[in-house]
A = this chain, B = another copy of it.
């Protein structure tokens, strides 16, 4: 039976929404799985008592240290009894098959990398998120694991993203685009021009450079970028919700007619918020670590936690990491 480790204390609504997410996962999923909740035992037990979950399925690992959302990863790494440290350790010791956290992203990333190490053949892991598009969903990576990248890293992101997308989007040969300014192969910064050459020679279905406009248009299934650009674009997208709300508020104030429509506008914005919240897609895996590690948004709803649990079960069962490893080992550039 697959067993998923879950940071019960991470994020803004923990442990309530985490435990409720576990309940939803058992209610909605047909998979056979166990959950190990990591966090303050008393608090978790109290939350668990609210739901009707079979005792034998859920175990608790007590964690005595707390990790703040703003704490620096280098500080967090020192806390050996935090939920993140314990969860990744359990994963390393194969007591759980995956670890999910809605806590401090930087800390989860650093701790996983330190504890689990990289997957053979991978130079740098990347955080792969899903963004909604006009046509469906795009896998967008890296969104923050690497502020500084080399062409080889982007190339590997292309491979990892393509494999991940083939599972998530159920597509045989996902179209991979490289985020740049201008579609020609010579356009962009030095990094992108170099990465273009590697991706072109590689084995993914590379469609060439794509531009900022292409991400939400759904021009391709995977958009590759470095963690600096990816994080800025992701956060920019997240801010659109608030921006649009302020726009509508101004409009509503302006005219009576618009007050009538305000209700409908609000619902539409709620839609927008939902499609823009990457947690709705089950969190973002840290692809390339030697394990299944999923990072959720700090504001994850129970539904988002449920989706992350489902995603992690799928990634374990489908042996996504094995496929990535194999593909990278059979590739000419991975030792460049």
**Which residues in A have some Cβ–Cβ distance to B below 8 Å?**
72, 132-134, 144, 147-148, 179-181, 184, 187-190, 192, 211-217, 225-229, 231-240, 242-244, 246-248, 251, 257-258, 260-261, 263-265, 267-268, 271-272, 275
Which of B239, B264, B268 interacts with A212 by CB under 8 Å? B239
CB contact under 8 A between A246 and B213, given known A181-B227, A181-B232, A236-B237: no
Q: Are B231 and A233 in contact (CB under 8 A)?
A: no
- Chain B nearest CB from A126 CB (Å) reads 14
Contacts of A214 in B (CB 8 A): 239
Most buried by B among A148, A216, A232, A234: A232
A258 (CB) vs chain B CBs: closest residue:
B264
Which of B134, B180, B231, B258 interacts with A181 by CB under 8 Å? B231
Q: Given known contacts A147-B189, A233-B236, what 19 new A-B pairs fall within 8 Å (CB)?
A: A134-B242, A134-B243, A148-B190, A189-B226, A212-B231, A213-B235, A214-B239, A216-B242, A216-B243, A217-B242, A233-B233, A236-B236, A244-B244, A247-B268, A247-B275, A251-B267, A257-B264, A261-B264, A264-B265
CA distance A144 to B188 in the complex (A): 10
Contacts of A244 in B (CB 8 A): 244, 272
Assembly stoichiometry (copies): 2
- Chain B nearest CB from A262 CB (Å) reads 8
Which of B148, B233, B237, B268 interacts with A248 by CB under 8 Å? B268
Q: Are B260 and A264 in contact (CB under 8 A)?
A: yes
Q: Are B235 and A211 in contact (CB under 8 A)?
A: yes
CA distance A238 to B268 in the complex (A): 19
CA distance A264 to B257 in the complex (A): 9
CB contact under 8 A between A215 and B189, given known A181-B227, A244-B272: no
Q: Are B261 and A236 in contact (CB under 8 A)?
A: no
- Chain B nearest CB from A173 CB (Å) reads 25
Q: Are B246 and A134 in contact (CB under 8 A)?
A: yes
Q: Are A188 and B228 in contact (CB under 8 A)?
A: yes
Q: Are B240 and A240 in contact (CB under 8 A)?
A: yes
